Amino acid sequence: MSEGKDQMTQKAELSQEEILRYSRHLLIPEVGLEGQRKLKAASVLLVGSGGLGSPIALYLAAAGVGRIGIVDYDVVDPSNLQRQIIHDTHQVGVLKVESARNRLLALNPFVHVDVYNEVFTSQNAERIAADYDILVDGSDNFPTRYLLNDLAVLSGKPFVYGSIFRFEGQVSVFDARQGPCYRCLFPEPPPPNTVPSCADAGVFGVLPGTIGSLQATEVIKLILGIGEPLIGKLLLYDALEMSMQVIHLRKNPRCKVCGESPEITHLIDYEAFCGVPARAGQENGLEDDRVIDPVALKRRLEVGDEVVLIDVRDPVEQQVSALPGALVIPLERLPQRIKELDPQREYVLFCRTGVRSARGVRQLAAAGFPKVKNLRGGLNAWAEQVDPTMLKY
């Protein structure tokens, strides 16, 4: 800990109310009064206040971390409440950062909460993160994750990583000063629109609680300087098997950001790094002639146009809603079943929101299908614009 940080810790005196609040910490030799002062003097930036961000923020505030910054740009949606426990039904429609701040201050009025209602990008990341000691990943996307990692390396700060998918999660602490960074493990992000998000693939509601709590644990250990942080280690968790395993990681001397001859010396955004900048007029990377609106599709079906519908969702989603007459070909099975389709026919692919079906459209187009389109907005848009009796999910 630096001399300046020592002075801050000395100034982080605890009131009688705080002594009572944190009394169970004060009984632990590894924490004690000095450790609680360290927590009060610490500052943590959390990017994301959703599934992972919820338990992370709640436990950091409850533990008495003195300054917590939260970056998010979304509003609370009913579909969030299955796992994003920092928000509640009364906060639907409210900015997530405001909902989170209100909840944290209600939990612990002795902490300071900064909120940043903005997209975390290469243009604002350094400004936002400048005054925080530790960076924490509560996001659900690769652009933010790679940006956080690069920022951590370039600013010499630890980066507490977590990710989730359906029933599985990962946790690590990346600190290039002592071990590998995220790019040492995953040098380049996957191409845009190739990896499903939680919104597309689903997530077991309690999973982010487990992974987020582990991330909060690592943050608190770093602040206190106790135990063995997951630096150079990747923890893998499987909720179905209730198993954990730890994989040991090595620093990559050829890493583009923390290696011996780094190529990345300033922050860049994910799209620029991949060489696929977003263009106006595109939806999920598709040109306009590859997309059809629900109302336009309805009209074509009503006049008898020979349009074949293909539902690329997982079979379990058929239990919620379906379009009569559609072929059901789950996206992961599409490459094997392309031979069943006629390249001369016209196809419209759809899923829940249009993200997965856009990937299917690209696959068919690349395989020589000239007349294939994506249903803009998927079945949820169909329910909103065409059939209000259809269930949205």
Distance CA 240, CA 29 (A): 35
Please answer whether residues 157 and 123 qualify as being in contact, where contact means their C-beta atoms are separated by less than 8 angstroms: no
Distance of CA 6 to the CA centre of its chain: 34
* DSSP letter, residue 392: P
CA 171 → CA 57, 237, 347, distances in Å?
Answer: 16, 8, 41
CA 52 → CA 4, 25, 101, 193, distances in Å?
Answer: 31, 24, 15, 22
Type of residue at 182 = Y
Active site residue 258: no
DSSP notation for 191-250: PTT-S--HHHH-B-TTHHHHHHHHHHHHHHHHHHT-S---BTEEEEEETTTTEEEEEE--
CB burial readout 356-373, b (16+ within 10 A) else e = bbbbbbbbbbeeebeebb
Active site residue 255: no
Type of residue at 109 = P
Phi/psi of residue 334, nearest 5 degrees? -60, -45
Place of tokens 């000395």: 10
CA 57 → CA 158, 220, 270, distances in Å?
Answer: 17, 12, 26
Catalytic residue of the set 181, 184, 258, 351: 351
β-pair partners for 172: 161, 234
CA atoms within 13 A on the CB side of 368: 6
Catalytic residue of the set 184, 198, 255, 258: 198
Instruction: List the 291-292 sheet strands across, edge first.
Output: 291-292, 372-375, 346-350, 307-311, 327-328
Give the chain's end-to-end CA distance (angstroms, integer). 49
Kindly list the catalytic residues.
198, 351
